[in-house]
Chains A and B, each alone.
Chain A
Amino acid sequence: MHDFTPIPALIGGAIIGLAASLLLLTHGKVAGISGLYGSLLRQGTSDRAFRFWFLAGLAAMGMLVRLTWPAAFASAWSASLPVTLLAGLIVGFGTQLGNGCTSGHGVCGLSRLSVRSLVATLTFMGTGFATVFVVRHLLGGAR
């Protein structure tokens, strides 16, 4: 494990948990990113303002982190752009179909002891492991 960083991971995770708790305390909503973003795309979603401002905060901080700490986006590996586009399509379709992603099911759902979220989390972790195994070890690192 050449790049094992448990301490920043733990602290970063705690901050994610805190942010989700803040949204629950102020708006009573689940901080599921795919849900917030997907609902904003849909016509006729109620309560658009808090979704917009949450995602605006997310994006503004992304820009600020880029300016102050660009290493946060440094990646020793990246998929090719066509594969990345395909990955985005699948993630977008899948998270809408399954009502959530790593934040909504993984963090918020598991914290609520939701059985649906447990099933979803075990499923996407499983197919995530399987996909990387196939791409890296069976196809020999095809990008």
Chain B
Amino acid sequence: MKRNAAAFGAGALFAVGLALSGMTRPSKVVGFLDLAGDWDASLAFVMMGAIAVHFVAYRVVLRRPAPLFDGRFHLPTRKDIDLRLVLGAALFGVGWGLGGYCPGPGLVSAAAGSPGALVFVVGMTAGMLIEQAVARALPRRE
């Protein structure tokens, strides 16, 4: 119960941050990505604010032996730079620039009933399922 409430609270807080920062407005996102046009630097400040807080809090939290509701921390351990990482990130940037939504703001705006975001989330869900099916079909060389 407390576990799920904490996850719900973290998700709700995350959405507040996205909405306040302007990430749920595709024109702000594309304004930031439009270096050659009427550049809107605002989203750089979103990253600065988020990293400033999480950089410090991450280090404070990790002094604990374990999180509050789990036996251990679950953090990524991979260090290799592979083609999947670079190609995946490159594709993500293309889609981000085309639609003005990344996954978090897309989900928040879809829940809020924005028609564009609903369409975006339908596409995103399909794209994820396709990638997962491809990954299952192709043997992994790792």
Contacts and interface: CB of A to CB of B under 8 A. Distances in A.
A128 to B, nearest CB: 4
A119 B81 contact: yes
A57 B102 CA distance: 18
B125 A58 contact: no
A97 B7 contact: no
A3 B34 CA distance: 13
Interface in A10-48: 10-31, 33-34, 37-38, 41-42
Interface string B1-41: 00111111111111111111111111110110111111111
Contacts of B113: 63, 66
A81 B115 contact: yes
B84 interface: yes
Interface string B107-136: 111111111100111111111111110010
Contact of B15 (A57, A79, A112, A115): A57
Interface in A93-130: 93-103, 105-112, 114-116, 119-121, 123-130
A10 B81 contact: no
B118 to A, nearest CB: 9
B60 to A, nearest CB: 8
A58 to B, nearest CB: 4
A61 B16 contact: yes
Interface residues of B, number: 116
Contacts of A19: 10-11, 13-14, 16-17
Contacts of A115: 79, 81
B98 A83 contact: yes
A90 B107 contact: no
**Which of B8, B20, B33 is the most central at the interface, judged by chain A CB atoms within 10 Å of its CB?**
B20
Contacts of B131: 92-93, 96-97
A71 B115 CA distance: 15
B128 A27 contact: no
B78 interface: yes
Contacts of A87: 95-96, 98-101, 120, 123
A53 B4 contact: yes
A119 B64 CA distance: 29
Contacts of B137: none
A56 B84 CA distance: 29
